[in-house]
Homo-oligomer: A and B are copies of this chain.
Amino acid sequence: MTIKTHYKKELKTKKGANYSVAHAGPFEDLHQFEVEHPRLKRNVPKFFLKDELGLTGMQVSLNRMPAGAAVPFYHKHKQNEELYIFIKGKGQMQIDGDIIEVSEGTSIRISPNGERTWRNTGDEDLYCICIQAKENSLSQETFEDGVPVERQVTWP
């Protein structure tokens, strides 16, 4: 399913052979990036990175939720693990009926079967990065997967 986007602000991008870049700008502008939500039948503020950057191992969304707002449904997943990282603001995540207070620096892993929703309980915007990756798909990471490049770092 293609994600249909509606951007009210220019997205600056750049590409190289082994990379791609998107400059969405300050998080307070995130509401200017909207997608059509097939369940809600309306546009919702959400900036998805996968199609913009050509990601192949994860989907990622950058989210800004205004004070007083809440996701109006529960959802779970078929294959994908989700990770929510809260950047700024105060809120609550509800998973299988449990309530978790969230604020700057709160990270939450949710298995596909967890029934989840979240809301802003503060007086300011709540900012969150949500990452999806296929459960059990990571074979190795960080110090096993990283390869040192034996060349002195220089900056032009």
Contacts and interface: CB of A to CB of B under 8 A. Distances in A.
Interface of A: 1, 3, 14, 16-27, 29-30, 38-39, 48-50, 52-62, 70-81, 83, 85, 87, 92, 94-96, 98-100, 103-111, 113-115, 117, 119, 129, 131-149, 151, 153, 155-156
A129 B49 CA distance: 14
Contacts of A16: 95-96, 98, 114
A41 to B, nearest CB: 12
Assembly of this chain: how many copies? Answer: 2
Given A149-B74, A151-B74, A79 B24 contact: no
A112 to B, nearest CB: 8
Nearest to A38: B143
A90 B64 CA distance: 21
A59 B141 contact: yes
B134 A99 contact: no
A24 B57 CA distance: 26
In the A-B complex, the 5 residue pairs with the closest CB atoms: A57-B133, A18-B114, A74-B149, A59-B141, A53-B109
A25 B147 contact: no
Contacts of A133: 57-58, 133, 137-138
Nearest to A81: B57
